[in-house]
Amino acid sequence: MKPESSLEQLVKQRPLPRHIGIIMDGNGRWAELRGQPRLEGHREGANRVREVTRCARRLGLPAMTLYAFSLQNWMRPWDEIEGLMALLSEYLLKERHEILDNQIRLHVIGELGRLPKEVRGPLLELCAASASNTEMVLTLAVSYGSREELALAARRLAQKVEKGEMSAEEIGVEALEGELLTQGLPEVDMLIRTSGELRISNFLLWQIAYAELVFSSTLWPDFRQAQFLDCLAEYQQRERRFGHTSAQLRSSST
C-alpha cells in the first residue's frame, strides 16, 4: 500500500464517518471525452475502486458502500452490460487476496437473481469467504434500487402482520430498518457523488436521511485518493446537528 500523505494523516486525526456511500458516476463520459469505448471508462473506474478502498481501509473506516450497477442500468445496451459484468468478474478475481488479507468483509445488496451465474457465483463465494473479517465492510450495490428495497421491506413487514407475528402498530423506524438490505451496517454519515451530477439516483434513500452530501465535479475514473481525502476533509468541516441547535451542541461538548 502507498504511504500516508500529509492530508491523509490530518484527516485520520479528525472524526471520520462510520459509513460512506459513493455514487461512482462519469465512467462513460470519461471514455467518450477521450474517443474511447465507454467500457474503457468503466475499466479505469475499477482502478479507482481499488485505490479508494485501500485509502478507506488505511484510515480505518468501518463501512463503505459503492453503487456499482443500478436496477435501471439493465436498460443500457446489452454489449455494455456484458462488458460491465465481465469487469465485475475480473475485479472479484483480482481483488480476492487483497480483500481477504486486509480483513475486509465483502457484502452485496441488490436483486442478485438477475446477475449472470458466472458473476453471481464468485460474488457470493467471496462474500462467504470474507464473512468473518472484521476490519471493514465493503458493500457493492449491484442490480440495486432503493425504492425497490423499500418496497421489499414493506412487503416483508406486511407478511409478518398477516401471519400474526407482529401488529401494524409495531411497525416503526426500527422495524423497517430491520428489513433493509443494509441491516446491521452503521447509518450512512456521508454520501459522495462524482462527475458533477446533483442527484441521488435511487441509492440508499432511507439510509442517507442524515448523511452529509458531497458532490464532486471529478469524473469517477479521475477520482483519486487526493479527491477522496478532500471530500472527507469537507465532511469534517461540517457541523452535524441532527435537529439540535449549534448552541446545544457547544453546550453538550463542554
Say what the pLDDT of residue 1 is. Answer: 47
Give the per-residue pLDDT at 246.
66
CA angle 193, 196, 199 (to 5 degrees): 55
Q: Tell me: the pLDDT tens digits for 174-233?
A: 999 999 999 999 999 999 999 999 999 999 999 999 999 999 999 999 999 999 999 999
The domain segmentation of the chain, as residue ranges, is 15-145+188-200+208-237
- From 25, 27, 102, 189, active-site residue: 25
* Mean pLDDT value across the chain: 94
**Given this model, what pLDDT does residue 116 score?**
96
pLDDT band at 103 (very low <50, low <70, confident <90, very high): very high
Give Cα separations from 152 to 55, 182, 187, 207, 208 (angstroms): 34, 13, 19, 15, 18
Among 233, 73, 44, 50, residue whose Cα is nearest residue 138 = 50
Give the pLDDT confidence score for residue 93 in this predicted structure: 95
Residue 189 appears among annotated catalytic residues: no
Mean pLDDT calculated for residue range 153-162: 98
Domain 15-145+188-200+208-237: give its CATH superfamily.
Answer: Decaprenyl diphosphate synthase-like (3.40.1180.10)
Residue range 62-102, pLDDT digits in tens:
999 999 999 999 999 999 999 999 999 999 999 999 999 99
pLDDT at 175: 98
Q: Is the pLDDT of residue 38 over 70?
A: yes
Given this model, what pLDDT does residue 176 score?
97
pLDDT band at 242 (very low <50, low <70, confident <90, very high): low
Q: Given 27, 73, 101, 189, which residue is catalytic?
A: 73
Q: Is 102 a catalytic residue?
A: no
Given pLDDT bands bounded at 50, 70 and 90, which one contains residue 5? confident
